[in-house]
Amino acid sequence: MYALAFAVPMAVSIVALTMSGSWMDRRGLLTPIAVGVAIFSAGLIVSGVASTILQFLIGRGIFGFGAGILTVAMFVLIARCYPPEQRPTMFALYTSTFMVAALAGPAVAGAVADHVGWRWVFLLVPGLALVAAGLLYRAVAPVGGNSDARSGSRRSLVWAVVAGAGILGLSVAGQRGLPAWPVLLAGSVVTVAVAVPRLLPAGTWALRPGLPSTIAARGLIGAAFLSAESYLPLALTEFRGCSPTLAGAILTASAVAWFAGTSMCARLKVLGHKPLRLAIGMTLIAAGLMVVMLIPVDAVPLAVVIAGWGLGALGMGMTLPTLAMAVLDRSKPDEVGVNSAATHLNDAVSQAFVLAVGSVLFGALLTASAPAAFVSVVGLSVALLMAGILPLTRIGAGQGA
């Protein structure tokens, strides 16, 4: 059930992403953001008052739908309200919100749960969401849409539901908790492979030059790093004897490094050339992953591991926002929403797929050798990162280049 609490909102968000992109292109931002905040808040309230696990999961699904809408809205807001030269700064500010959440979120949530109960961790957030929506009102109210923009089709929504079911199946099968998990995994892979390409720009998974390769590269690189990150706390506690608090602090520090990478892109003129940013970022990510593979080796100081992971996070902060800006640069004004939604959808699918495969690989090797299991899943991340180089070489061609 713990895995479902994360899998359900991710699966439902696929439908929200598919629907919201074309909606924003046609109608602007005001109504989608208002609806997104309302659904997001309703989901949190349902989870907060839930008396059964089913009610809690329903709340998580509602939350995921609202979060999917709002995720696309932030990209569209940056594209519509800021010229290209100001977008690096806005992405840095956007990333800073995640840094604040990483720094303060666990402590605040823990304090709330300890003193007034876990339900209030969910019930207090809608008030903050409403305040944030109020602050956004003046910015998004003038942002209109284009009634001639392409509208979403019912067929796309059907495929989105199918893709969401596949993502849910991947997440559940990856836990290896069901007797028939291999069948579920295989069926989910086929479902995702058939449904998802119909929701992305043509040629995304075939690495067609231009926008499709830009979206594909971001998905591969993000999945590579986040897959390795999911095993980092376990490796630090099992192989290096770190306390859960210290392992969590290392992840928090990496969030700061991620923000630093994004901020450097916005502030340092020497990083104004996007291909240079991508080259440096990819090098740092590769170095970080290679160093993390050495966690089981006691001769490697823990400080080296921490520094290496920080470099990887710094590279992520340089790479992913740069690719996000490349998506916006390659999008026509009336396709910003659709392409932003496709980017996030591909990110989510890539991460779910890699996490499921990594979980199966880790579980298969764990009984034989825990170090080998960990090195293998990080090796999978390295392979994905290397695979991301090919689409990176193809993003300069095609539409909008």
Domain match, 264 and 399 both: yes
Domain match, 222 and 366 both: yes
Rounded-to-integer distance, Cα 28 and Cα 368, Å: 55
Answer yes or no: is 102 within a domain.
yes
User: Which one, of 192, 191, 172, lies nearest residue 182 by Cα?
Assistant: 172
Predicted local distance difference test score (pLDDT) of residue 396: 77
Looking at the 3D structure of the chain, how many domains does it have?
Answer: 2
Domain match, 261 and 390 both: yes
Residue 295 has pLDDT above 70, yes or no: yes
Answer yes or no: is 166 within a domain.
no
Q: How far is CA 357 from CA 334, 351, 380, in A?
A: 36, 10, 9
Phi and psi, residue 201, nearest 5°: -55, 140
Predicted local distance difference test score (pLDDT) of residue 2: 60
**What's 341's domain CATH number?**
1.20.1250.20
Domain match, 121 and 230 both: no
Domain termination residue (choose one: 125, 141, 157): 141
Answer yes or no: is 343 within a domain.
yes
Greatest Cα pair distance, the chain, in angstroms, is 63
> CA angle, corner 257, sides to 285 and 232, nearest 5?
60
Find the domain containing 26 and state its range: 1-141
Domain termination residue (choose one: 141, 170, 194): 141
Rounded-to-integer distance, Cα 346 and Cα 192, Å: 11
**CB contact at 8 A, 102 and 359:** no
Domain match, 9 and 103 both: yes
Answer yes or no: is 54 within a domain.
yes
Domain termination residue (choose one: 93, 113, 141): 141
Predicted local distance difference test score (pLDDT) of residue 399: 45
pLDDT in tens, 82-137: 888 888 888 888 888 877 777 777 778 878 888 888 899 899 999 999 998 888 88
Answer yes or no: is 342 within a domain.
yes
Rounded-to-integer distance, Cα 401 and Cα 398, Å: 6
Residue 211 has pLDDT above 90, yes or no: yes
Domain match, 207 and 111 both: no
Answer yes or no: is 85 within a domain.
yes
Which 3 state secondary structure label does DSSP give 150? Answer: coil
CB atoms within 10 A of CB 329: 16
